[in-house]
């Protein structure tokens, strides 16, 4: 099916396990992916973050060979997803958003079917290993239809890893789980990240900061931000913020603080003695602030950097301004009410 002989392109260009170049997808007239470009390095856990309908699932379906892109290319483990689809599919473990379970099969039967489909040599050993990893060995003979949501999700992950793929693609792996199950699945993903390259999608923010090494925020089929979860906060505020609380409140404090080089604004907060100080990016002014506070005898109670939470960044990037105001209004209303 491919013009290129298998194996020829197997060696990887660099360390990229996934490489996406100018990927676009139309559903009829509607464009759901616009010129997507990104790569995932070997061993990385990349979080794909975006509101529902942003194009996360579409991207994943293209990478797994479920559907072709309208234009652009993508390579997984060095193979082209269009021209070498079977090679790609053999190297990917995929958990679709709807866990694909045959409800009338037992866990072991099901995993053995998936292993067979992936031409696994030692099937018994492979399914034992997979069941052990996701901690479902005790349910091997249970019918899938009788499992709880959490167990179903684990079986879904087990089927994705049973053939020990290079790359794991997980579409909303924690959706519909209760908090305890979510923590379990996240721990599992982190553990799997030691051996696999993982691309996971989610629209839940804490998920990304807790499991991923890098985040990619997608909106309306476009990547709007890409960084580590920690960096995104600073990067998108355009400045850094410092929280200062002092014991001895004096009216001249804001004015004095603004004299420090690099300090942009100082705002007194509602709580007495609390100030939020905005400084230029990449200049930590905390030592200067502390020195001044000590010198003037303000009595520092607390001094710490404030980062925009990932949630703020996400809202900024994925919503129109009006929507952000609405959300802020809502938050305020909730706090006040």
Binding residues for another protein, rule: CB under 8 A, are 27, 61, 64-68, 86-87, 89-90, 92, 94, 96, 98-105, 109, 113-114, 116-119, 159
- 1 or 333: whose CB is closer to another protein? 1
**What H or E segment, with its residue span, contains residue 31?**
strand 30-41
**Could you tell me the smallest distance in angstroms from the CB atom of residue 308 to another protein?**
37
Phi, psi torsion values for 307, nearest 5 degrees: -105, 145
Task: State how far the alpha carbon of 271 is from the alpha carbons of 65, 66, 260, 276, in Å.
Answer: 56, 55, 23, 11
**Could you tell me the smallest distance in angstroms from the CB atom of residue 117 to another protein?**
4
**Could you tell me the smallest distance in angstroms from the CB atom of residue 158 to another protein?**
13
**Could you tell me the smallest distance in angstroms from the CB atom of residue 28 to another protein?**
9
Number of C-beta neighbours around residue 123 at 10 A: 18
- 104 or 124: whose CB is closer to another protein? 104
**Could you tell me the smallest distance in angstroms from the CB atom of residue 94 to another protein?**
5
- 90 or 249: whose CB is closer to another protein? 90
Task: State how far the alpha carbon of 27 is from the alpha carbons of 37, 55, 98, 222, in Å.
Answer: 19, 11, 20, 16
Cα 283-286-292 angle, rounded to 5 deg: 125
Cα dihedral 50→53→59→60 (10° resolution) = 80
- 70 or 309: whose CB is closer to another protein? 70
Q: What is the C-alpha separation between 153 and 150, in angstroms, rounded? A: 5
- 105 or 315: whose CB is closer to another protein? 105
């Amino acid at each position: 099916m491919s013009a290129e002989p298998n194996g020829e392109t197997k060696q990887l260009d660099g360390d990229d396990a996934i490489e996406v170049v100018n990927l676009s997808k139309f559903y009829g007239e509607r464009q759901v992916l616009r010129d997507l470009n990104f790569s995932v390095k070997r061993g990385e856990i990349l979080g794909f973050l975006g509101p529902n309908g942003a194009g996360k699932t579409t991207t994943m379906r293209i990478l797994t060979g479920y559907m072709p892109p309208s234009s652009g290319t993508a390579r997984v483990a060095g193979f082209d997803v269009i021209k070498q689809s079977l090679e790609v599919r053999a190297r990917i473990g995929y958990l679709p958003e709807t866990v694909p379970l045959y409800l009338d099969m037992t866990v072991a039967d099901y995993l053995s079917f998936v292993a067979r489909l992936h031409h696994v040599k030692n099937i018994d050993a492979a399914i034992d290993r997979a069941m052990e990893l996701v901690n479902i060995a005790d349910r091997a003979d249970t019918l899938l239809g009788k499992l709880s949501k959490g167990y179903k999700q684990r079986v879904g992950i087990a089927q994705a890893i049973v053939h020990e793929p290079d790359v794991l693609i997980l579409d909303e792996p924690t959706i519909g789980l209760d908090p305890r199950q979510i923590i379990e699945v996240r721990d599992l993903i982190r553990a799997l990240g030691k051996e696999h390259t993982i691309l996971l999608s989610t629209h839940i923010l804490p998920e990304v900061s807790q499991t991923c090494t890098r985040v990619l925020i997608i909106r309306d089929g476009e990547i709007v931000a890409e960084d580590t979860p920690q960096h995104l906060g600073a990067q998108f505020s355009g400045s850094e913020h410092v929280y200062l609380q002092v014991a001895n409140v004096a009216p001249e404090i804001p004015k004095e603080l603004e004299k420090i080089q690099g300090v942009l604004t100082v705002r007194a907060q509602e709580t007495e003695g609390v100030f939020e100080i905005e400084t230029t990016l990449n200049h930590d002014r905390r030592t200067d602030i502390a020195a001044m506070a000590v010198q003037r005898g303000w009595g520092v109670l607390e001094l710490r950097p404030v980062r925009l939470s990932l949630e703020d960044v996400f809202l900024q990037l994925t919503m129109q301004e009006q929507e952000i105001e609405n959300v802020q209004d809502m938050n305020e209303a909730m706090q006040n009410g």
